[in-house]
Amino acid sequence: MNASPDQNGALLQARNVTRRFGELVAVNDVSFDVLKGEIFGIAGPNGSGKSTLFNILTGIPFGPSAGRIIFMGEEIQRLPAYRISQAGLVRTFQKDAEFPTMTARENVVCGAVYCGGLRRDAAQAAADDALDAVGFDKRRQSLPAMDLSVYERKQLMIASAVAGSPAMLLLDEPAAGLTKPEIKELGDLVLSIRDRGVTIVLIEHVLTLLLKVSERLMVLNQGAVLAHGDPHEVVRDQRVVEAYLGKRELVL
Ligand SMILES: Nc1ncnc2c1ncn2[C@@H]1O[C@H](COP(=O)(O)OP(=O)(O)OP(=O)(O)O)[C@@H](O)[C@H]1O
């Protein structure tokens, strides 16, 4: 999909987005831009609203209580989730979301159909291209997803999203459960997906990964933006260090 960014280069603009659950304000008046072609990192302690932010950006499973989300120049906060995906804004989930008894390749074809709106031969071709793009072992593409390794399931998750040719990919803690060498491999994979022209927003607790790949970093705390800017400066910000202490340590 050809991305048509805003004049300042923003592919996505979130403006004063808020999500309430009864009394709890899980995302509180958050505004930011994601520029075309960048990798934009998001960090924050457990429960700070990171996944909820992805939920409301993509409408899966709910939109914002208030605020505006502009993607490629169009307001999307009231669109149904499938329209947002097919407009080119696609997400992954923290928990395994593959169909366990379907093969790896069938899972990625489903991604091409749902996220890309493709059919038949086009979906198959897009799936093969996406599996190649993530370096998935060809000999293991016909195995049921439940028989794959943890890293292969991460590759599958990313391939399923990439098969729809998104303009922007939102990755929710993709390094969870991976070994250090696998995290390094994942970092190279994220960079290579960006180099194919996909803008990436990356939620992560593993700061080595965020620092390796992100051009800009935003830290959330209690639903609000605590700091944003150059990743190396943000992680040294005293407010950021304090927000993590006593909750979950920065993983370096
Ligand atoms: N559907 C929901 N109903 C009620 N409360 C919710 C719902 N989803 C999230 N919350 C609450 O919103 C807050 C933010 O949760 P969220 O999952 O977005 O945090 P997070 O930063 O992604 O955390 P983690 O790093 O642990 O994944 C938490 O207090 C959580 O309990």
| Cβ 231 under 6 angstroms from ligand 1 | no
- N-terminal to C-terminal alpha carbon distance within the chain: 36
Residue 107 lies in a domain: yes
Quick check: CB of 52 below 6 Å from ligand 1? yes
CA–CA separation, 96 and 78 (whole Å): 27
Q: Give yes or no: residues 206 and 251 share one domain.
A: yes
CATH number (domain holding residue 28): 3.40.50.300
Question: Are 37 and 145 contained in the same domain?
Answer: no
State whether 62 and 184 are in the same domain.
yes
Ligand 1, atom 2, residue with closest C-alpha: 21
Q: What is the DSSP letter of 143?
A: S
| Domain final position from 119, 136, 165 | 165
Q: Give the closest residue to 209 by CA, choosing from 174, 157, 167.
A: 174
Any domain includes 198:
yes
Ligand 1 close to Cβ of residue 154 (< 6 A): no
| 46 in a structural domain | yes
If asked whether residues 176 and 68 sit together in one domain, one would say yes
Is 238 found in the same domain as 118?
no
Q: Is residue 54 situated within a structural domain?
A: yes
214 within some domain: yes
- For residue 22 and ligand 1, the question of a CB distance below 6 A is answered with no
Instruction: Give, using CA atoms, the residue closest to atom 7 of ligand 1.
Output: 21
If asked whether residues 183 and 144 sit together in one domain, one would say no
pLDDT in tens, 108-157: 999 899 887 888 899 999 999 999 999 999 999 999 999 999 999 999 99
> Is-contact 190 171, C-beta < 8 A?
yes
Q: Give whole-number Cα distances, 106 to 163, 182, 199, in Å.
A: 12, 24, 25
Cis bond before residue 61 (omega within 30° of 0): yes
Predicted local distance difference test score (pLDDT) of residue 83: 92
> Which of 42, 51, 91, 220 should be mutated for ligand 1, with most atoms under 8 A from CB?
51
Q: Are residues 4 and 81 in the same domain?
A: yes
Instruction: Confirm or reject: Cβ of 46 under 6 Å from ligand 1.
Output: yes
Question: ipTM exceeding 0.90?
Answer: yes
Q: Cβ(160)–Cβ(174) under 8 Å?
A: no
C-alpha radius of gyration, the chain, whole number: 17
Domain extent, residue 122, equals 99-165
Could you tell me if 183 and 224 lie in one domain?
yes
Specify the 3-state DSSP secondary structure of 99: coil
7 lines ligand 1 (CB under 6 A): no
| Binding site membership of 51 for ligand 1 (Cβ less than 6 Å) | yes
Q: How far is the CA of 65 from the centre of ligand 1 (A)?
A: 15
C-alpha 60/C-alpha 179 separation (Å) is 29
Let me know if residue 243 belongs to a domain: yes
Does 155 sit in the ligand 1 pocket, CB within 6 Å?
no
Q: Return the ∠ at Cα 88 (arms to 82 and 94), rounded to 5°.
A: 70
User: CA-CA distance, 111 to 119, in Å (whole number)?
Assistant: 11
**94 occurs within a structural domain:** no
Domain C-terminal end among 165, 193, 212: 165
Q: What is the pLDDT of residue 1?
A: 42
- Res 246: pLDDT: 47
Q: What's the confidence (pLDDT) of residue 148?
A: 96
Q: 27 in a domain, yes or no? A: yes
Domain count, the chain: 2
Q: Residues in the chain, how many?
A: 252
Of 116, 145, 165, which marks where a domain is finished? 165
Same domain for 115 and 81: no
Total-model pTM: 0.92
Regions of the chain where pLDDT drops below 50: 1-3, 246
One domain, residues 202 and 83: yes
Q: Are residue 2 and residue 38 in the same domain, yes or no?
A: yes
Residue nearest to atom 1 of ligand 1 (CA): 21
Structure tokens at 25: 């304000």
Same domain, 55 and 67: yes
Residue 181: asked if its preceding bond is cis (omega within 30°), the reply is no
